[in-house]
Structure 1
Amino acid sequence: MNNPLDSAALNAAIENVHRAGVPGLFAEVRDGDRVWRGAAGVADVATGRPVVVDMRHRVGSCTKTFTAAAVLQQVENGRIGLDAPIGRYLPKLVPGERGDAITVRMLINHTSGLAEYLPYAYPSLRAFPVLADTGPQSLDDHRFTPFHATELIGMGVSAPAVGAVGGTPGVYSNTNYLLLGQLLEEVTGTTAEDCITRNVIERAGLQDTAFPDGPHVHGPHSLLYEAWFGMIDPPRDYSVYDMSWVGPSASLISTVADLNRFFGMLFAGEIVDRSSLAQMQSTVPIISQEGKPIDYGLGLYPMRIPGGGVVWGHGGTVWGGGTMSMIDADGGRQMSVAVNLQRWNRLDPSGRPQPHPIDDALAAFHRVAMGGAGGESPPQER
């Protein structure tokens, strides 16, 4: 059973994350009718401008839950078959036998076998996941590069497969969600961003959530500091960035309050119907972008908070920014937190990320926020 919401413990826990090395972070925790909102640290290390809890933030792969919900809405109205082959809708993007074998469901739960396009779009990351052989140069090279989704999809589709079609464990890949964006465009006649905005964001009444219309984040926001495993020292601000490199996979801008509202309404059956929500919670084993085995549903994944049971949600990262949103299965307890530093772990001689005090401090904050009593920080996905 969850512990009651403890404002003093939450204030201390969020401050500890800042002291551990995150320049700034902010969060909202809900427990029934009770709400705690807090922030610690700075939005700009040069000026000392503080972070505040209502700042807008690039939420990375939390976008995937919005995109998955939009697809399932189209499944409900009969425009998309969840277990239909993607080649039925997008034969030019996924041609031949793979197009006939890969289903819409496999795209949503990352069991398509399609490779991640990112190392091909960003040449300095080509050695990923061998981190020691990567470098951050491409992050600067592509700060203002306009990518088209079909260009990126082509990179992922033409790359060597990362697993058997429909096989497990699947492998997390942004290629899957760019294809879902093209699928939405094909069946609705509008862009994926417009479809998701109209049918998900506006349906949920989210006032501060939107896809970017350029490289800037409009409204109050933090700078976003990327360290790339100690190779950028001091960490560099990437808050101004063309997000076409991830589009409907990970480009959404939101607030912690809006994220909590969205996940609360999703689990109340107000975004998709109850049968679709059950499909979203039907999981398969996959390998996360961090190389860790996790269970993944349709745009959602479960996380265990020791002492607090299993919660659901999604995490996300962009260059310099991270977000995690989670909710109890019954919708009673929720948390969304945003941080303005990413990839803070330096590499050991074998090229593996070393433990960092931030890891333990974030895990402790998640634990206190969700009423648990121990454990690791859940994975965040780009």
Structure 2
Amino acid sequence: MVMGLRRPSASRGAPLPGADPSETAAGEARIGTLQLALSLLVLTAGVVLLDAFTGDGLPLIPLMIVLPALASVFCTVRQTTGVAVWVTLVVVGSQLASTGAFWDVFLLLGFTALACGLGVAACAARIRHATEVARLRSAAVALQRQILRPLPVLTRQVSAYGLYEPIEEDRFVGGDIYEVVQSPHGTRVIIGDVQGKGLPAIGVGFAALGAFREAAVRETDLTAVAGAVEDAVVRHNAFSAETGEADRFVTALLLGFDDGDRVRCVNCGHLPPLLLHDGTASTVTLHRTSVPLGMADLSDEPRTAEWLGLPPGGALMVYTDGVTEARDAAGAFYPLDERLQEWAADEPGEVLRALQADLQQFSGGVRRDDIAVLVLSRPAPARGSITGSTLK
């Protein structure tokens, strides 16, 4: 899923050039100034009428001192200051005609000024804290965006559309990883699932992605790319062990696309892809599956690659177990193969939108794991290209 920020307009009230949009949003009001003014006038009129009706036995106007405190939660500092000034004027005006004792009036006015000042100070503190949080979040988002590139990704050999949903909604990156790299040897693709969740899993994923991006361009053989990612995961585990963290592995599927009708595949303990072709979806049988990345020392067999067929007009769907292990209220797993038959003839974007909506409905909005899905197809011929004929 692609997410971005709008370019601010040059209209009045727009952020200044170079301003952080997150910081600007943190200081914005949740209620318009005109709406606030009208609400304040109506509320004041109501309180004054009730105060006149109840008489001196139950004065209500002094209760308006709570308004600046309420405004500090929803308004800007300027709006809260305006509310404080208005309340002060109303209370002072009501007490000028009062026949009460001097010290009672003096204490009420002093308490009103104190309450209004505290309301403005609380508003300023809230906005300052929100701005700091927004700045930190903006920096975190910018860093996480360097880990996973936005989708779709188009190369000379592949059109890659995708769906990505981390289990933690306040993050843009989870334990699932993907990457599409154009290299001198064709397009290389990886999709993987890091063991575990949270920041440690993100660290392992970042190490694997960095190694893949370099090796995908450098190595001529796809198994050598897998070996480079394996080494990166092992090195990261060794570094993490020094801080007391447990070793982690990565199940991954590496694909290599050239200009032919077949796809090179190295499976490192990952789920097999699905072939979408002629309106049907079928599981691609993989005959050579090795251990996950980071666990090569546990196996004596080297990683090997195999060829997969990709007929014209077909697409490969690769995904993580967050899709197949999604559950409904009764605990049943999501029937991906069965549901895909309904959308297999659609365009990749439509397939992903239907899958996302269906997963949401099936699980009742409860996610138990990160979700990553890529639909990989050959790019459409460029407009104006001619196949099988010659212009005369």
* Superposition TM-score, scaled by structure 2 size: 0.24
Q: Which has the larger radius of gyration?
A: 2
* Superposition TM-score, scaled by structure 1 size: 0.24
Tell me which of the two structures has the higher relative contact order, counting C-alpha pairs closer than 8 angstroms and 6 or more residues apart: 1
Higher helix share: 2
